[in-house]
Amino acid sequence: MSLAIGVDIGGTKIAGALVREGVVLERARVETPAEDVDAIAEAVVDVLDQLQGAAGDQEVVGAGIACAGFVDREGETILFSPNLAWRDEPLRARLAERTDLPVRLENDANAAAWGEFRHGAGREHRTMTLITVGTGIGGGVVDDGHLLRGSSGIAAEIGHLRVVRDGLRCGCGNRGCWEQYASGSALVREARELVRSGTPMAGRLVEACGGDPERLEGTDVTRLAEEGDPAAEELLHELGVWLGEGAASLAAVLDPGAIVIGGGVSAAGDLLVQPAQRAFRRQLTGRGHRPWPDVLLASLGNDAGVIGAATIMSDRARGR
Ligand SMILES: [Zn+2]
């Protein structure tokens, strides 16, 4: 059973793991020097060295590097990253100078999708769509056992599907993108608005932030909803409806066997997924004349990216 390394380069931290068959054996973690591309490469090499050291004399078949940005089809270059300094950054070549491991770059949501597909919630399916709900919305699509990369490597940027004409302005510059309505940022925005409205309904939310809506976070909303606060439940319910309806649109195009919901906000569990499932079923085209795709919670949590990135390398090593 082959060992591989997965590294997930996020905006604030670089997380690495030594992985065998979807199981994390060792971890390494450093801060991301976000503004300096040379320093990012150094930090990744540091993580690779630590994990290779942990592997001792066991063979490591390669390192998959999950990156928060647009990665080209070949896994060589990061074309663009919204939160890091990468612009046409040839990170694979830079790393190859410093390590003897085979290295490949992968978009972080694609890596997470591969992790959930091979070892997580989607493992019973051949065709699966992952929706990661965090600050924004990311996604990854597996079709008949293959990761959908598109012509330039940047397929599945599902957070930027337009769902509202002339809607809220998105970080991408457009208006009305799905992630403006169905992400963790949308949840926080709605919760803060509810507090500002002065409605007595928001009493517990006001308490949670000491009266200052700017201090309210998504985790506060989830916690209060878990404690049964109707306003917090309603906020998660609304978010779930946006998610479910968007997922139905994706299903119209992709016909997945499973839609897997991951990312930080999925920690809300059934409070989010049940309303999403109901909205999905109300909106799915051809309902009644097609199998129902499963709408499932992701099961690998924050490890989906490192497990997926490592598994891409071990699958390649065995010719999959
Ligand atoms: Zn957008």
CATH of the domain at 308: 3.30.420.40
Provide mean pLDDT across the span 309-319: 96
Please check whether residues 139 and 265 belong to one and the same domain: yes
CA 100 / ligand 1 centre spacing (Å)? 38
Query: Are 59 and 37 part of one and the same domain?
Result: yes
CA 180 to ligand 1 center in whole angstroms: 8
Mark whether 104 and 133 lie in a shared domain. Answer: no
69 Cα–ligand 1 center, Å: 14
- Looking at every residue in the chain, the average pLDDT score rounds to 96
67 φψ region: left (φ > 0), alpha (ψ -120 to 50), beta (else): beta
For ligand 1, the distance from its centroid to the CA atom of residue 133, given in whole angstroms, is 14
Domain, as residue range, for 214: 124-298
Alpha helices in the chain (DSSP H): 37-55, 91-96, 108-119, 179-182, 184-196, 203-208, 218-226, 230-254, 270-283, 304-317
- The answer to whether 252 and 290 are in contact (CB under 8 A) is no
Q: How far apart are CA 22 and CA 176, in angstroms?
A: 37
The predicted pLDDT at position 303 comes to 97
Find all residues with CB under 8 Å of 180, minimum gap 6, and list them: 164, 167, 168, 169, 170, 186
Contact predicate 250/280, CB 8 Å: no
* Domain assignment present for 143: yes
On whether residue 119 sits in a domain, the answer given is: no
Q: Are residues 209 and 286 in the same domain?
A: yes
**Per-residue pLDDT tens digits for 32-48:** 998 899 999 999 999 99
The 10s digit of each residue's pLDDT in 254-304 is: 999 999 999 999 999 999 999 999 999 999 999 999 999 999 999 999 999
* pLDDT of 101: 96
Residue 320 banded pLDDT, cuts 50, 70, 90: confident
Q: How many domains does the chain have?
A: 2
CA of 71 to the centre of ligand 1 (A): 18
Per-residue pLDDT tens digits for 190-246? 999 999 999 999 999 999 999 999 999 999 999 999 999 999 999 999 999 999 999
Distance 159 CA to ligand 1 centre (A): 6
Domain assignment present for 87: yes
Ligand 1 centroid, distance to 176 Cα (angstroms): 7
Q: Which residues contact 228 (CB under 8 A, 6 or more apart)?
A: none
State the pLDDT confidence band at 144, using cuts at 50, 70 and 90. Answer: very high
∠ CA 215-160-36, rounded to 5°: 65
Q: Are residue 310 and residue 230 in the same domain, yes or no?
A: no
Share of the chain above pLDDT 70, in %: 100
34 falls within a domain: yes
Assess whether 294 and 178 both reside in one domain.
yes
Does 36 map to a domain?
yes
Q: Are 143 and 284 members of one domain?
A: yes
Counting every residue written for the chain, the total comes to 320
CA of 172 to the centre of ligand 1 (A): 4
Q: Are 259 and 280 in contact (CB under 8 A)?
A: yes
Indicate if 49 and 139 belong to the same structural domain.
Answer: no
Note whether residue 289 is domain-resident: yes
Instruction: Answer yes or no: is 102 within a domain.
Output: yes
What residues contact residue 310 under an 8 Å CB cut-off, 6+ apart? 4, 5, 6, 17, 18, 19, 63, 64
Q: What is the mean pLDDT of the segment spanning 132-158?
A: 96
Co-location of 68 and 38 in the same domain: yes
12 pLDDT above the threshold of 80: yes
- Whether residues 67 and 143 fall in one domain: no
Å from CA of 165 to ligand 1 middle: 12
Q: Which residues surround ligand 1, an ion (CB under 5 A)?
A: 160, 170, 172, 174, 177
264 C-alpha to center of ligand 1: Å? 19
The residues near 284 (Cβ < 8 Å, ≥ 6 apart) are: 248, 251, 252, 290, 292, 293
Instruction: Give me ligand 1 centre to Cα 164, in Å.
Output: 11
What values do phi and psi take at 298, rounded to 5?
Answer: -60, 155
Q: How far apart are CA 209 and CA 221, in angstroms?
A: 10
Q: Are residues 272 and 307 in the same domain?
A: no
- Give the predicted TM-score (pTM) of the model: 0.95
Are residues 289 and 311 located together in one domain of the fold?
Answer: no
Q: Is 292 helix (H, G, I), strand (E, B) or coil?
A: coil
**pLDDT value of residue 167:** 98
- pLDDT tens-place string over residues 64-99: 999 999 999 999 999 999 888 899 999 999 999 999
